[in-house]
Amino acid sequence: MNRKKWAVLVLSLLLLLPIRAFADAATGDMIITLGANLTEEQKKLLLTEMKAPDDAEIITVTNEEEHKYLGSYISKRLIGTKAISSSAITIADAGSGINVETKNINWVTDEMYINALITAGVKDADIYVTAPIQVSGTAALTGIIKAYEVSTDTKIPEEVKQAANEEMVETANLGEEIGTDKASALMAKIKEKIAENKPSTDAELQKIIDDAANDLNITLTDAQKQTLMDFFNKLKDLDINWNQVGDQLQDAKDKFNAFIESEEGQGFLAKVKEFFASIVDAIKSFFS
């Protein structure tokens, strides 16, 4: 082999090694996403808060990326001009499902992240989303999806990323009318039924939406039903692994049920004040 061919081979191997090394990420490995507009001091504080190891992989998320994935669905005002929200994604055991915890996020709820990430194909990860101040949390979803692609060496189709972001927005919009917990529960229930029944016609999809709403005692207007029909018709035509979606929803349900039945879970419920009862019921419904 001449020197030129040898140099090309070595260069090719060097380019492949970093990707392959992180693609073999093991349970417990962490990857960090940071908003590009954080100050250096804010970055240090967030890394400490996340308990990030010194060798953690760090990915930067820009405001331009936020507008790319959300600009068609929400106002520029809500997206803002700075990417602030950040996240830590820890690889979990196979079958663990997705677990999300947030801090200082005031627009995207934990359940919205879970639903959108399941749609995007993310699985088996513990995710912590945070910011140094109160923010919408839109940058975090983009970052989490980027981090998952890097950590698993998986390329998520652009149209699926768009669908995940659209789902997050549609859930938030519906939540303003029926409540965020009910909206998240409804979206999860519809996806669960789609995974089980694989609708092929509008009539079958409409029945799934109606049945899901009835199961959760949610009354939808004709306009709300049409919005859901339009979104899920788009979703079911994408290259989405619906079996995986169903599995991840089941994992989330099993995890929540196990917590509720535990001594810690019982103690938590006992301390919940009366005015939080409706919220707890909605969360239970999300996993039922």
- Largest interatomic CA distance in the chain: 78
What pLDDT score does 19 carry? 34
Neighbour count for residue 222 (Cβ, 10 Å):
7
CA distances from 185 to 35, 195, 221 (A): 29, 15, 17
How many whole angstroms separate alpha carbon 80 and alpha carbon 83?
Answer: 8
- Contact in structure between 189 and 215 (CB atoms under 8 Å): yes
Which alpha helices (H) appear in the chain, and where do they start and end?
A: 3-23, 40-49, 63-70, 76-79, 110-120, 138-152, 158-178, 180-197, 202-215, 222-236, 242-261, 263-271, 277-286
Q: Is 104 exposed, middle or buried (0-12, 13-18, 19+ CB in 10 A)?
A: middle
Helix H, strand E, coil C: the string for 112-162 is HHHHHHHHHCCCCEEEEEECCCCECCHHHHHHHHHHHHHHHCCCCCHHHHH
What pLDDT score does 190 carry? 94
Q: Is 103 left (phi over 0), alpha (psi -120 to 50) or beta?
A: beta
Instruction: Express each pLDDT in 76-120 by its tens digit.
Output: 777 788 899 999 999 999 888 899 999 999 888 999 999 999 999
Average pLDDT of each block of 10 consecutive residues along the chain (288 residues)? 37 33 68 94 96 91 88 78 92 90 91 92 93 86 90 88 91 92 92 89 96 94 96 85 77 51 50 43 48
Domain residues of the chain, as ranges? 3-152, 158-286
What pLDDT score does 187 carry? 93
How many whole angstroms separate alpha carbon 191 and alpha carbon 197?
Answer: 10
Neighbour count for residue 211 (Cβ, 10 Å):
14
167: part of which helix (H) or strand (E)? Answer: helix 158-178
Instruction: Express each pLDDT in 46-55 by its tens digit.
Output: 999 999 998 8
- Contact in structure between 79 and 70 (CB atoms under 8 Å): yes
Residues 6+ apart with CB under 8 A from 112: 168, 171, 172, 180, 184
How many whole angstroms separate alpha carbon 207 and alpha carbon 212?
Answer: 8
What pLDDT score does 261 carry? 52
- Contact in structure between 212 and 190 (CB atoms under 8 Å): yes
What pLDDT score does 281 carry? 53
How many whole angstroms separate alpha carbon 41 and alpha carbon 273?
Answer: 38
Give the closest residue to 128 by CA, choosing from 149, 101, 93: 101
How many whole angstroms separate alpha carbon 251 and alpha carbon 248?
Answer: 5
pTM, 2 dp:
0.73
Would you tell me the crossing angle of helices 110-120 and 158-178 to the nearest 10 degrees?
A: 150
What pLDDT score does 283 carry? 47
How many whole angstroms separate alpha carbon 180 and alpha carbon 109?
Answer: 8
- Which residue in the block uniquely carries the two structure tokens 């890097």? 150
The CB-side HSE value for 193 (13 A sphere, CA atoms) comes to: 22
Structure tokens at 260: 């509720």
Give 58's strand partners.
32
